[in-house]
Amino acid sequence: MGKYINIGNTDFASVRKDEYVDKSQLIAYVNHVLGTQRKFLCVTRARRFGKSLAAKMLCAYYDHSCDSHSLFADLKIAQDSTYNEHLNRYPVIYLDASVFTTNLKSQGEQIVHEMNDALSRELIETYPDAPINPTDSLPAQLLSVVVYTHQQFFFIIDEWDAICREMGDEDIMRQYVDWLRSMFKTSFTDRIFAGVYMTGILPIKQYNTESALNNFEEFSMVNPGPLAGYFGFIKDEVS
């Protein structure tokens, strides 16, 4: 179990031990777009709408380092035709951007660099036999692992906009958006990632990044699309 890579299903297991409203059919939608040009998803909602809970659920479902059958067997997703095809089949990177704003806020412009290096160090530790060049960019290192393992990554970023919201610095925001673009909008991207799922409070366009990250399909409170029922509680669930 890693800190950012293949973190397992412990977080979602703790959720299942308490009262839980079944939102697992979100997984069916994500399964449907895996490996397609629509595999870049960004869900934006106000606080307390279950964004992080959904991210933990996806992590538990896709992470190949654990066995999550018992966590999902009694949920709606278990009846879906895609359920067994993707359950615990991917190396997962789970990044909570708010952790870096909390721990590294005083370091200012170093925050994006430190986040990148933290992922790079753990990638090298997790795959010691893969031919990873420590001086390569993080996307190049990830591609080396994919070529070595023949497995694409599923990347989850919770609170993607925390750095933009908390740091309040245009230069840091530009660095962060450039980093996101280097990860998710280059010639390496489709080879590296089976899917990318981000959550945040405010939409990507809030930060004038639509040209940099316009490959993401955004599901906001105003335009929730097919994901409307998977965040917050609908009338029947409240009853």
Q: Please, what is the angle between helix 138-149 and helix 111-126, to 10°? A: 20
pLDDT (average), residues 63-78: 97
**Is pLDDT larger for residue 55 or for residue 167?**
55
- pLDDT tens per residue across span 25-49: 999 999 999 999 999 999 998 777 8
- pLDDT tens per residue across span 166-205: 776 778 888 888 999 999 999 999 999 999 999 998 777 6
Tell me if 230 sits within 8 A of 23, measured CB to CB. Answer: yes
Q: Please name the residue that has the structure tokens 């870096």.
A: 100
Q: How confident is the model at residue 108 (pLDDT cuts 50, 70, 90)?
A: low
CA 219 to chain centre: 14
Q: How confident is the model at residue 209 (pLDDT cuts 50, 70, 90)?
A: low
pTM above 0.85, yes or no: yes
